[in-house]
Amino acid sequence: MGATQLIPPHGGHLVDRTGAGQEPTKPAISIQLSQQEQCDLEMIAIGAMSPLEGFMTEADFHSVCDNVTLTDGTIWPIPITCAVHQATAVKIGIGDRVALSDDANRLLGYLTVTEKYKCDKKKQTLKVFLTEDAAHPGVKVIMDSGDICLAGKIDVATARHEPMFAEHRLGPAQTRAEFQQRNWKTVAAFQTRNPIHRAHEYLTKCAQEITDGLLIHPLMGATKEGDIPAEVRMKCYEVLIENYYHPKHTMLSIMPAAMRYGGPREAILHAIYRQNYGCSHFIVGRDHAGVGDYYGTYDAQEIFDTLPNGGLKITPLKFEHAAWSKKAGGMVSGKTFPKIEGDQIFLSGTKVREMLTRGERPPAEFTRPEIADILIEAMKGK
């Protein structure tokens, strides 16, 4: 019996830029990457950003901004760049081999520079984030970064020093192998950067009904201040899966990507990641990858219908807002049950945080009690 046939990687092949090893001659220039760039380096290296093999050229940068594609026509929604300040850029020549390091100046890998170009920050922020407002966390990252982009392929020696949750840090080749081992042909991925509450649980279980397996795939790269700490979130995922999901049809693995809060365009990027990890379906809920009120509630779903060249191979599962209905006695959405005044149990994030800080459990119809207890413990004294 042959191996289970999975969805092909985006662009047709799975990139692997790992295993470079430390070079005997240290490059003359070393660049300390930002948190976002460190995440991007790891995602490129392990193939999660296939077909990218390095940081983007100027032509690809502009094509992505203008057309949502690379210059070869492959769909790609957000520029992936390595930006340095002018004082560093003047020391770097085309063809130079540059060392890339983390915050502690530990070697991560190398970049062979093929091009240097000025980053059009105004264009990038308006095209990708639809705003130049520095209060937007994604815009702020761009505005705080260097003005000169370095393009070229990367070679990674150590994608991440002291990685968090190493046992759950599976790359695309590993998740694909695991899916085949489990004989999953169709897999739904669920993107999250928060603990999973009852509405999220409902969406994931709807997806499980139409696929062989569910990959709960939390984003564990760089996030914004105020997001729940990774260790707390991970404990929530593990406890929830242990108590409320079928082990034969559920899998937990983390994704080391940076969160850009890019709304519709980032939803496309998240879908591409999951196709590379071997998932056939991708759950897209309300305000996916959004922040504040920069994007419409369902903009991140609608953008999939506007993609060029026939769109993506991975199938988006578009869900409406879900909540517990007292009359129906269960989770409902706008498609499954009419809206009745005062019927649905809905709590704002602010209200939930206030309750947890006071040591109060939100209603069981909103979140599982085990998850509430973890969050209450984590928020003590805050």
Which has the closest alpha carbon to 138: 126, 155, 150? Answer: 126
Q: What is the pLDDT of residue 279?
A: 98
Q: Which position has the token pair 């990687």?
A: 9
The Cα angle at residue 294 between residues 323 and 279, in degrees rounded to 5: 60
Question: Could you tell me how far CA 202 lies from the centroid of its own chain?
Answer: 21
The single residue of 193, 260, 274, 368 carrying the catalytic annotation is 193
The length of the chain in residues reads 382
Closest C-alpha among 179, 204, 354 to residue 277? 179
pLDDT for the residue numbered 115: 98
Quick one: pLDDT at residue 349?
75
Tens digits of per-residue pLDDT, 24-63? 888 989 999 999 999 999 999 999 999 999 999 999 999 9
Nearest CA to 259 out of 297, 241, 233 is that of: 233
Average pLDDT, stretch 165-178?
96
- For range 2-28, the mean pLDDT: 90
Which percentage of the chain shows pLDDT scores above 70? 97
How far is Cα 347 from Cα 249, in angstroms, rounded to an integer? 30
Model pLDDT for residues 292-334, shown as the tens digit of each residue: 999 999 999 999 999 999 999 999 999 999 999 999 999 999 9
Asked whether residue 69 carries a pLDDT value surpassing 50, the answer given is: yes
pLDDT in tens, 181-238: 999 999 999 998 889 999 999 999 999 999 999 999 999 876 666 678 889 999 999 9
What is the rounded average pLDDT of the residues 158-165?
A: 92
The letter for the amino acid at 347 is L
Catalytic residue, chosen from 97, 194, 353, 361, is 194
Residue-level pLDDT at 222: 64
Instruction: Work out the number of other CB atoms within 10 angstroms of the CB of residue 283.
Output: 25
The reported pLDDT for the residue numbered 91 is 97
Is residue 193 part of the annotated active site? The answer reads yes
Q: Which domains does the chain have, with CATH numbers?
A: 30-156 (3.10.400.10), 167-379 (3.40.50.620)
On whether the CB atoms of residues 101 and 31 are closer than 8 A, the answer is yes
Q: What is the pLDDT of residue 120?
A: 98
Q: What percent of the chain has pLDDT over 90?
A: 88
State the pLDDT at residue 173.
Answer: 98
Would you place residue 1 in the very low, low, confident or very high pLDDT band (cuts 50, 70, 90)? very low
Give the relative orientation of helices 230-244 and 369-379 as an angle to the nearest 10 degrees.
160
> What pLDDT is stored for residue 348 in this prediction?
79
Identify the band that residue 350 occupies on the pLDDT scale cut at 50, 70 and 90. Answer: confident
Q: What's the pLDDT score for residue 29?
A: 95
Instruction: Using the predicted structure, report yes or no on whether residue 341 has a pLDDT greater than 90.
Output: yes
State the average pLDDT for the chain: 94
Least confident of 132-141, 293-302, 353-362: 353-362
Is residue 382 predicted with pLDDT exceeding 70? no
